[in-house]
Chain A
Amino acid sequence: MPIEVTMPKLSPTMETGVIAQWLVKVGDQIKEGDVLADIETDKATMQMKSYEDGTIVRIDRPAGDEVALGDRVMVLAKPGEDPKEVESKLAGGGEKKAAKPAGAGPVHSGNGQPTVEDEAEDGVAEDSESDSAANGEAGRVKASPLARKMAAASRVDLTKVRGSGPSGRIVRRDIDDFLAGKPAAPAAAKAASGGAKAAPAAAAKAPAAPAPVAARAASPADERIPHTRMRKTIAQRMVQSKQSVPEIHVTVDIRVDKLVAIREELNRALAAEKLKLSLGDFVTKAVAMALRKHPGLNATFEEDAIVRKGSVNIGFAVALDAGLIVPVVQNADSLGLADIRRQSEALVAAARGNNLSTDQLTGATFTISNLGMYGVRQFDAIINLPEVAILAVAAAEKRPVVEGDKLVPGTVLTVTLSADHRAVDGAMAADFLRTLKRLLEEPAMMLL
């Protein structure tokens, strides 16, 4: 039976996706992991990848079309099927919607409904090795024996886990990551082919060159840049935040000389691992630890309640050419500095490459916005709803500092907390900042 590929959910709030461009055409043979198209969601332009091998016999929707989630966008002939035969059947009107959405369906469905894959669990699919249908159609989940055992013990539905092993095999680290709520590791072997195909896409995504207007030196023409979906989303969310949230802003200066020294020392020690901690990593760690102490700031404001979140997941704003995106370091309070560095690097790289998965974009409980690299002395960030606070981090810079009665040079970092006064009072905000300041001024406290 041919495979129907449907519009996948590529962002947490996505309901429709616009096909920015197709990167494949009818007749192409594709492999699992190949990039099929660039899809504009409300957040960003994301890559739509194939979860199947096959030959494309039909593309239903042209580039530019807006497609609802789950709607069919293409049909594949499975390996071994005759594409011509599939095509003629389609043309003959014999087509039926597959009961199970192909492609990204099972991975992203997130509704806990049992899928066909569950059969593999009780051995039905495994017993039918001679049945060539077992691997393709039923979408058998590939997992190592250990991963299966761990999944059974933790009641993890393997169909919800992305495998990073060969051919997408789910292995131990994928279950560990899934249980830790971490973003799935990028599919290992697929990177190469995916990357190659992504290249033209990336080029196409560069900001559109201004339309060639008959240039007149005297009065250059105005340039009109239509809103991208990401820009629309940013605009809508920022207005919503500013209009609905009574913000208070609390600022403190933090003396970071000790931190700077420790960072240099650690970076010397980490040089062999090619790991370089930034001040931002220390801030992330300290914020996560401070949030544990001040759960009132690690919360969301809902109509009838303030919900204090169980885990501390730090979102951090990443500037892209097209706008702004907030990937998430999950459970940052339980991570060491090195892990925070590694995860942030991976997330930034994925953000820049438009490769962030839904998991990597959701679940933040607190956001950090860092403009330190631009030499900013101080700024206020706008709260990322429904969170109740956001921390704006400026540059650590040499400033005159009063020590006793003397003026000495010191390295000072200014941070500003924007808090939702419906949920957070001034004293609460100040108390949180006092904890944060202590952690950053005496970094050894972070060991406690």
Chain B
Amino acid sequence: MAVLSFREALNQAMTEEMERDDRVFLMGEEVAQYDGAYKVSQGMLKHFGARRVIDTPISEEGFAGIGIGAAMVGLRPIIEFMTFSFSLVAIDQIVNNAANMRYMSGGQFSVPIVFRGSSGMAGSLAATHSHRLEAWYAQIPGLMVLMPATPADAKGLLKAAIRCDDPVVFIEHEVLYPDRGEVPEGEHLVPIGKAEIKRPGNDVTLITYSRSLKVTMAAAEKLAEEGVDAEVIDLRSIRPLDMDTLINSIVKTHRAVIVEEDWPYCGLGAGISDRITRTIFDELDAPILRVASKDAPIPYNKAMEQSMLPSVQRVVEAVNGVVYREV
């Protein structure tokens, strides 16, 4: 299997889908001439030409709207936001049009569009470049929200997203772009709505996604050395959520910690925790704990920025809390 970076895997997914289906096109700021702000679309302008790889002005609401219109008449646009923090300019298009169109038109229109781009805290880009908005989008009925953590899942999920007949918000964590991993060649699809057990274990279920998977896996290794056998689940799909995998795991371990990079208040973990508690209350031996970012805007200062994030230590402490272990 080829070893690719996360950004190369995304590039491969888009390239393969555009070769397979000529209704697919890519649009966004700097995706063409500059090969993408994060070089995800490197070489695509040369390969597909300016009709299918389209540079736009700084006008998120405009090009998101154009994309939605194009999708309604049968094309399959991929809209790149340079960062998801800027998608807020287009949120009216995404929420009021893309997400609602199928429902409000009584099924006459579908909107097969992918909104993709970078997100998350990454090296001193300060507050407006570091938002983690997955919980916002995940709240909207009509949207799918996908957040891969590995190059292989990045390719498989993006291909599935492009083929999906409903709007997909596809969030790529900025610090994952250079990560390398084995990526299956050609037709590799990861189904939307399927979580993956990245590490089996018996004592506690750690639920996470995107970049936090790395922190969580490191914490699981540390816990293993200390005699706590953690199961790690990578959600991959934020919405729809794979409740079956979560339930089966927690019925086995009876304890759960959710590791998320978004803000704690009304964050993803709150919703997940609620669903677990309502479904299998009697299986829980401890409250579900959440390790999220600190409840504040993201500072520019690097050390302060890092201190905001879920860390190995914070995950270990939360696990100790739910397995009732004194350290």
Stretch of A113-121, A141-149, A371-379, A403-411 contacting B (4+ beta carbons < 8 Å): A141-149
Q: Select A145's contact among B227, B284, B324, B326, beta carbons within 8 Å.
A: B284
Q: Does B282 contact A (CB under 8 A)?
A: yes
A188 touches B (CB below 8 Å) = yes
A297 at the interface (CB under 8 A from B): no
Nearest to B283 among chain A residues (CB) is A146
- Contact partner of B282 (CB less than 8 A), chosen from A149, A173, A191, is A149
Measured CB to CB, the nearest residue on chain A to B225 is A272
Determine if A171 and B282 form an interchain contact, defined as CB atoms under 8 angstroms apart.
no
Q: Give min CB distance, B221 to chain A, whole Å.
A: 15
Whole-angstrom distance between the Cβ of A168 and the nearest chain B Cβ: 12
Is there contact, CB below 8 Å, between B254 and A146?
yes
Are B324 and A147 in contact, with the CB atoms below 8 A?
no
Find B284's partner among A146, A165, A188 (CB 8 Å cutoff).
Answer: A146
B285, CB-defined interface residue at 8 Å: yes
Instruction: Please tell me if the beta carbons of A171 and B324 are within 8 angstroms of each other in the complex.
Output: yes
Chain B contacts of A147 at CB under 8 A?
Answer: 285
Q: What mask results when residues 282 to 293 of chain B are scored 1 for a CB within 8 Å of chain A, else 0?
A: 111110000000
- Once the chains bind, are B324 and A173 in contact (CB under 8 Å)? yes
* Complex: A273 Cα to B281 Cα, angstroms: 34
Residue tally, chain A, CB below 8 Å to B: 16
Of listed A144, A148, A189, residue having the most chain B CB within 10 A? A144
- Is A172 interfacial (CB-CB < 8 Å)? yes
Q: A172's closest neighbor in chain B, by CB?
A: B285
Name A166's closest neighbour in chain B (CB-CB).
B324
Chain A 144-170 against B: per-residue CB contact (8 Å), 1 yes, 0 no?
111111000000000000001110000
Residues from chain A with Cβ under 8 Å of B284 in the complex: 144-146
**Residue-wise interface mask of B (242-268) relative to A, using a CB-CB cutoff of 8 A (1 in contact, 0 not):** 000000000000100000000000000
User: A54 vs B281: C-alpha distance in the bound complex, in angstroms?
Assistant: 32
- CB-CB nearest in chain A for B321: A166
A121: min CB distance to chain B, Å: 14
A190-223 CB contacts (< 8 Å) to partner B: 191
Shortest B253–chain A CB gap in Å is: 11
Residues in B with CB closer than 8 Å to A144 are 284-286
Contacts of B227 in A (CB 8 A): 273
Q: Is the pair A146, B285 in contact by a Cβ cutoff of 8 Å?
A: yes
Q: In the docked arrangement, what's the CA distance between A145 and B254, Å?
A: 10
Of A149, A171, A188, A273, the contact of B326 (CB 8 Å cutoff): A188
Within 8 A of B (CB), among A304-358: none
Binary B-proximity of A120-153 (CB < 8 A = 1, otherwise 0): 0000000000000000000000001111110000
B residues less than 8 Å from A165 (CB atoms): 286, 324
A164→B324 CA distance, assembly (Å): 8
**A149–B284 alpha-carbon span in the complex (Å):** 10
Residues of chain B within 8 A (CB-CB) of A164 are 324
Task: Provide the B310-327 mask, 1 if CB < 8 A to any CB of A, else 0.
Answer: 000000000000001010
Q: CB distance B254 to A172 under 8 Å? A: yes
Q: Are B282 and A188 in contact (CB under 8 A)?
A: no
Task: State A147–B255 Cα separation when bound (angstroms).
Answer: 12
A171 (CB) vs chain B CBs: closest residue? B285
By a CB distance below 8 angstroms, the chain B residues around A145 are: 281-285
The answer to whether B281 and A188 touch across the interface, beta carbons within 8 angstroms, is no
Q: How far is the CA of A173 from the CA of B90 in the complex (A)?
A: 52
CA distance A171 to B286 in the complex (A): 8
Q: In the bound complex, how far is the Cα of B227 from the Cα of A148, in angstroms? A: 26
Interfacial chain A residues near B283, Cβ < 8 Å: 145-146, 149
B282 touches A146 (CB 8 A): yes
| Complex Cα spacing A425 to B324, Å | 49
Cα distance, A404 to B119, chains bound together (Å): 80
Q: Is the CB of B286 within 8 A of A148?
A: no
Alpha-carbon separation in the docked complex, A172 to B203 (Å): 12
The answer for the CA separation of A28 and B283 in the assembled complex, in Å, is: 40
Give 4 A-B pairs besides A146-B282, A165-B324, A188-B324 with Cβ atoms closer than 8 angstroms.
A145-B285, A149-B283, A171-B324, A172-B254
Those 9 A-B pairs whose CB atoms lie nearest each other, nearest first: A146-B285, A149-B282, A172-B285, A144-B285, A145-B282, A145-B284, A145-B281, A165-B324, A171-B285
What is the interface of chain A, defined by CB distance below 8 A to chain B? 144-149, 164-166, 171-173, 188-189, 191, 273
A-B contact pairs, 13 of them (CB 8 A): A144-B285, A144-B286, A145-B281, A145-B283, A146-B254, A146-B282, A146-B283, A148-B282, A166-B324, A171-B286, A172-B285, A188-B326, A191-B326
